[in-house]
């Protein structure tokens, strides 16, 4: 099923970049710069990709543990919280010019702009908070008594750094179907375009180079 989705999306654009989610096959996480890449399709998990001169994309797949009133309700998958923390630490180290042993984040330089493409968005952003009664359908009526917090604290810690606040132009994520919309952490926009399957939502992001 996942391959059919990729094939369909690949027919719409000459280049497709994706970060695998917590419902995708384990082979999408095999090795760093993961499985299922081809000439026109790039798996961005644990790697950086050049989009244009001075603009890079870095991805990280899977999800963090989601909680409701402090109690876990959705387990993180397929990576542990320690693995997520190590992955984002490797990205920060690479951006500082220290290399990224264990991942393929090498490429972006200190003066380059960075677009982050995690599957799971950052904790603290409204786009990772589920207030809808049905967490899969943002169009359904009703509110939860207590919200589900589905964001990654390790990603938030990364975005809190001066380096990322300066270089990151946006975070584009999925995972939280009912969190569709725009938020921000510091000066960094956080965008959840929503789910095509649940709610028929999508987003378009246009980046323009400042003179």
Closest CA to 63 of 83, 48, 47: 83
The 10s digit of each residue's pLDDT in 136-146 is 877 789 999 99
- pLDDT higher than threshold 60 for residue 101: no
Q: Which tokens is 14 given?
A: 């000459």
pLDDT bucket at 1, cuts 50 / 70 / 90? low
Q: Worst-scoring range by mean pLDDT, 17-21, 98-102, 119-123?
A: 98-102
- pLDDT higher than threshold 60 for residue 13: yes
> What's phi and psi for 81, nearest 5 deg?
-60, -35
Mean pLDDT of 197-208: 89
Specify the pLDDT at position 38: 66
Total Cβ atoms within 10 A of residue 56:
20
CA 154 to chain centre: 12
Specify the pLDDT at position 103: 61
Q: Which tokens is 173 given?
A: 């994520």
Specify the pLDDT at position 99: 59
Closest CA to 118 of 158, 145, 66: 158
pLDDT bucket at 34, cuts 50 / 70 / 90? low
Task: Give CA–CA dist 110/128, Å, rounded.
Answer: 29
Closest CA to 169 of 90, 130, 115: 115
Q: Worst-scoring range by mean pLDDT, 11-25, 49-63, 102-116, 124-138?
A: 102-116
The structure's pTM equals 0.91
The SS3 of residue 72 is strand
The SS3 of residue 162 is helix
């Amino acid at each position: 099923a996942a391959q059919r989705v990729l094939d369909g999306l690949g027919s719409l654009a000459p280049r497709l970049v994706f970060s695998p989610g917590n419902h995708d096959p384990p082979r999408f996480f095999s090795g760093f710069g993961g499985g299922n890449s081809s000439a026109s399709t790039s798996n961005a998990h644990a790697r950086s990709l050049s989009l244009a001169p001075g603009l890079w994309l870095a991805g990280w797949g899977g999800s963090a543990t989601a909680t409701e009133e402090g109690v876990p309700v959705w387990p993180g998958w397929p990576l542990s919280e320690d693995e997520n923390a190590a992955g984002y630490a490797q990205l920060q180290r690479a951006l500082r010019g220290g290399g990224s042993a264990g991942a393929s984040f090498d490429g972006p330089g200190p003066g380059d702009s960075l677009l982050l493409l995690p599957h799971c968005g950052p904790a603290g952003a409204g786009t990772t908070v589920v207030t809808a009664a049905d967490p899969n359908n943002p169009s359904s009526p009703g509110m939860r008594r207590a919200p589900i917090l589905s964001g990654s604290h390790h990603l938030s810690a990364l975005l809190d750094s001066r380096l990322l606040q300066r270089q990151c132009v946006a975070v584009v994520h999925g995972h939280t179907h009912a969190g569709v919309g725009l938020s921000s952490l510091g000066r960094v926009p956080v965008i959840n375009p929503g789910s095509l399957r649940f709610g028929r939502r999508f987003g378009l992001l246009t980046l323009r180079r400042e003179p």
